[in-house]
Amino acid sequence: MGESITDGTLATFLKKPGDRVEVDEPIAQVETDKVTIDVNSPEAGVIQEFVAKEGDTVEPGTKIAVISKSAEGVTHVAPSDEKSSEKAAPPPPPPSVEKKEKPKPKVETTSVIEKPKETSSPPKLSATEPQLPPKDRERRVPMTRLRKRVATRLKDSQNTFALLTTFNEVDMTNLMKLRSDYKDAFVEKHGVKLGLMSGFVKAAVSALQNQPIVNAVIDSDDIIYRDYVDISIAVGTPKGLVVPVLRDAGRMNFAEVEKEINTLAKKATDGTISIDEMAGGTFTISNGGVYGSLLSTPIINPPQSAILGMHSIVSRPMVVGGNIVPRPMMYIALTYDHRLIDGREAVFFLRRIKDVVEDPRRLLLDI
């Protein structure tokens, strides 16, 4: 499962007893705190039985199934089905018992109806009290290991860090024009579309280099300065939030950033992303704008010290050169650990993001 993972939950079996499997064919999935891992068959044969059950906690080496290399496994399954059908036959008697018990509820319901008539005060109290929905309209579903892990980490973040968020707004005109002017040539040369995320990643790298304290982290009584930039990209999946990492983002160009983001996002959505691809990270970017978020205060991803929140692009009236003109504007937010990062550095960091996004030419001239 990986060095950092000791156990997992047997989420689901992909095969049934009696099914034939080949070597390395997935027969089950184990859900861990970070990813869902396929359990592959070590041999070719027929599944005789499952030793473990879905929902069980399993560790590396735990036996979960018995596989017969010969076709005899099928013969073992058939009798079990017959036995189960024979066992299923006895249930008919209970209905007769239920029929005998049906008159009893009627007597109970009449007594319940009579009680309100005897006392007049309870109805007056209940009239002022809120009417709660019946329990049969609620569903209780166990949390997945990934969801529990995300919940624990986010709550730990709130309990540990001195969270503070600062905001700014960005005029997206020039970055959107850059993408519009070169999108066809970009796709033709690099085989990937030019998006906005690469512009923000490059802006974040520049801002982290200008304000290295934002890229640092507190460790006990020390501050660890990291002279490399690994940017985590928050990706929402049906199973929960995962944060794959762009390694050495400072050495990537726009095309490499876009390709890596697309690859990691696809793996995260498909559930095939590995633990190594999510380990580490010195800074996180979360783009709530893809869901229509106008403004938010993102929570730091431990053990990092800051996170950048992107939001939706909205056309708003802005004063440019003394005239009111419509401009595509985006609110950006930086949540940071105030124990380590002062407001001055946080504002300068966000200001650098704004300057680079509004004028990408600064990246070429390094100004």
CA distance 67 to 47: 4
Q: Indicate the pairing of strand 222-224 with strand 217-219.
A: antiparallel
Q: Which amino acid is at 96?
A: S
Asked about 338 being catalytic, the answer comes back as yes
103 within 8 A of 110, measured Cβ to Cβ: no
Place of tokens 């802005």: 318
Nearest to 279 by CA among 242, 326, 327, 318: 242
Q: What is the chain's Cα-based Rg? A: 29
Asked about 76 being catalytic, the answer comes back as no
DSSP character string of 52-109: S-TT-EE-TT---EEEESSTHHHHHHHHHHHHHHHHHSS-SHHHHHHHHHTHHHHHHH
According to DSSP, the residues that pair with 57 across neighbouring strands are 9
Q: What is the 3-state secondary structure (H, E, C) of 239-295?
A: CEEECCEECCHHHCCHHHHHHHHHHHHHHHHHCCCCCCCCCCCCEEEEEHHHHCCCC
Candidate list 338, 355, 359, 366, residue with the active-site label: 338
Candidate list 56, 181, 248, 342, residue with the active-site label: 342
Residue 247, Cβ density class (10 Å: 0-12 exposed, 13-18 middle, ≥19 buried) = middle
Nearest to 327 by CA among 215, 175, 173: 173
List the catalytic residues.
Answer: 338, 342
